[in-house]
Amino acid sequence: GAQQKVEANVLLLGAENVGKSALTVRFLTRRFIGEYGDIESIYNHSDKIDGREISFNIWDSLYPQNCETTESITEKQLQWADGLILVYSICDRSSFDVVRQQVHLIRQAKKTSGMSPIIIVGNKRDLQHRRTVSSEEGRLLALSADCGFFEISAAETYHGVLLVFHELLDLIREARALK
Ligand code: GDP
């Protein structure tokens, strides 16, 4: 019979200016558009993956300013999300620190209600000459918190962005199968 449509709510987190919007737009349109306004929105994108219709809802969140880091992720966001993408820039160490804080916050908050799949993304891989966060550091953080890890350039290629969403979808399906 007809296969059921799969819905996946994906929450994007991370500091400002790391490329969250670029990554979202790249996934939605396959294109890179340089500048975006500061809008917080939920986008829908349907895709056929392995012959199955997948409906992604992508919440491109704004990193709150003048706000305690402990309040940077709301309970509402965590309850909504089936999976999370935490983005930093490989040439912005403070954005890596934000991801480190956020990943620990999420893992603590979710201790009782299960572990949502998380992918950590080091973006702006094209800016090697300005790198301040090594691949090793990113990989170790991901390993320590049981997250997936990719380094990508939303500016240069669609492929890396696609891999991130497909890997997250796999993890979401695994998590659902365990429930
Ligand atoms: P957000 O605040 O996290 O949503 O970040 P944006 O998507 O608005 O991107 C911030 C800035 O970084 C913009 O000027 C983008 O053009 C730029 N940018 C985003 N992704 C990349 C990338 O992979 N490489 C480079 N070189 N610049 C990027």
Chain segment 126-146, per-residue pLDDT in tens: 999 999 999 999 999 999 999
- Please choose, from the candidates 172, 174, 166, the residue with its C-alpha nearest in 3D space to the C-alpha of residue 150: 166
Q: What is the mean pLDDT of the chain?
A: 87
- Ligand 1 neighbours by CB, cut-off 6 Å: 16-22, 34-36, 123-124, 126-127, 153-155
Percent of the chain with pLDDT over 90: 60
Residue nearest to atom 22 of ligand 1 (CA): 124
Distance 133 CA to ligand 1 centre (A): 16
Q: Which atom of ligand 1 is nearest to the CA of 34?
A: 16
Cα–Cα nearest to 72, from 44, 95, 89, 43? 95
Q: Is the pLDDT of residue 116 over 50?
A: yes
Long-range contacts of range 146-149, CB-CB < 8 Å, 24 or more positions apart? 146/107, 146/115, 146/118, 147/86, 147/103, 147/117, 147/118, 147/119, 147/120, 148/117, 148/118, 148/119, 148/120, 149/119, 149/120, 149/121, 149/122
Residue 65 confidence (pLDDT) above 90: no
At residue 32, the pLDDT reads 76
**Phi/psi of residue 30, nearest 5 degrees:** 70, 5
Q: Supply the ipTM of this predicted assembly.
A: 0.99
Q: For residue 153, name the pLDDT band (cuts at 50, 70, 90).
A: very high
Compute the average pLDDT of residues 111-135. Answer: 90
pTM of the entire structure? Answer: 0.91
Among 127, 64, 144, 139, CA closest to 92: 127
CA distances from 107 to 25, 38, 73, 162, 165 (A): 28, 27, 12, 25, 20
| pLDDT score, position 11 | 94
Considering 3-7, 65-69, 91-95, the range whose residues carry the highest mean pLDDT is 91-95
